[in-house]
Amino acid sequence: DAGITQSPRHKVTETGTPVTLRCHQTENHRYMYWYRQDPGHGLRLIHYSYGVKDTDKGEVSDGYSVSRSKTEDFLLTLESATSSQTSVYFCAISEGTSREQYFGPGTRLTVT
């Protein structure tokens, strides 16, 4: 998985609780992305980062926030989890120039 780890790999949480997912890369790539994968929707971009402390919204950003304090780490936070955020979350990285994106192994999140 191109030097990308995600933690935790599985999580079950209750509605209304905060949740933070972590993506860690060892490739020193500039761009990092968070996607969610749901049946019938493919992968949809939540947020992305184009450098330390530089982030922007994707197409499904409501209810999510992100932070990137170091090149290698990109955090996704659900401030108050809802059942609609039950999904598989994937992190991806890109060097930028080549445009190729490489994905991590994913985190399965269940909100009960």
Partner 1 sequence: GENVEQHPSTLSVQEGDSAVIKCTYSDSASNYFPWYKQELGKGPQLIIDIRSNVGEKKDQRIAVTLNKTAKHFSLHITETQPEDSAVYFCAASTGTASKLTFGTGTRLQVTL
Binding site for partner 1 (CB under 8 A): 1, 31, 33, 40-45, 48, 50, 56, 58-59, 90, 94, 96, 99-106
Q: Which of 72, 90 has the CB closer to partner 1?
A: 90
CA distance 15 to 35: 21
Q: Which is nearer to partner 1, 20 or 101 (CB)?
A: 101
Q: Name the minimum Å distance from CB 49 to partner 1.
A: 9
Task: Report yes or no: 53 and 66 within 8 Å, Cβ to Cβ.
Answer: no
User: Which amino acid is it at 9?
Assistant: R
State the DSSP code for 83.
G
| Rounded CA separation 70/90 (Å) | 19
Nearer to partner 1, 35 or 78 (CB): 35
Give min distance, CB of 60 to partner 1, in A: 12
